[in-house]
């Protein structure tokens, strides 16, 4: 099964099993990061997740990608994120704005 789909199916983390599956799947994806998955990975974020501290591991993983590619993917999915994860979108915005190099890239990407 597609690993992104597994993350998507377990993103709400309502049970210990969903938490374990989410963490194990993210770990597998992290071993072989692929820029082509960046938009889909952003769309895993969901404000209805019951364990945001675990969802933060996805945010940290996203930040490990090439900054320009991560920011571009984020910009492209903002409209969708604002429907399913406005709080996570806000968190990512804050993290970008509070990092000087990320903020400059973000500003340039929006021009």
Looking at the structure of the chain, the number of domains it has is 1
pLDDT by residue for the chain (111 residues), tens digit each?
699 999 999 999 999 999 999 999 999 999 999 999 999 999 999 999 999 999 999 999 999 999 999 999 999 999 999 999 999 999 999 999 999 999 999 999 988
Name residues whose C-beta falls within 8 Å of residue 54's C-beta, 6 or more positions apart in sequence: 13, 19, 22, 23
User: Can you give the residue range of the structural domain that contains 67?
Assistant: 3-110
pTM across the whole model: 0.93
């Amino acid at each position: 099964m597609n690993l992104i789909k597994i993350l998507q199916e377990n993103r709400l983390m309502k049970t210990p099993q969903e938490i374990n599956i989410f963490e194990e799947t993210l770990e597998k994806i992290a071993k072989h990061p692929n820029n082509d998955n960046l938009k889909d990975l952003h769309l895993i974020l969901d404000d209805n997740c019951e364990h945001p501290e675990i969802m933060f591991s996805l945010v940290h993983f996203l930040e490990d990608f090439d900054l320009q590619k991560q920011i571009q993917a984020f910009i492209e999915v903002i409209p969708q994120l604002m429907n399913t994860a406005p709080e996570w979108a806000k968190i990512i915005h804050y993290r970008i704005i509070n990092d000087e190099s990320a903020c400059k890239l973000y500003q340039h990407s929006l021009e």
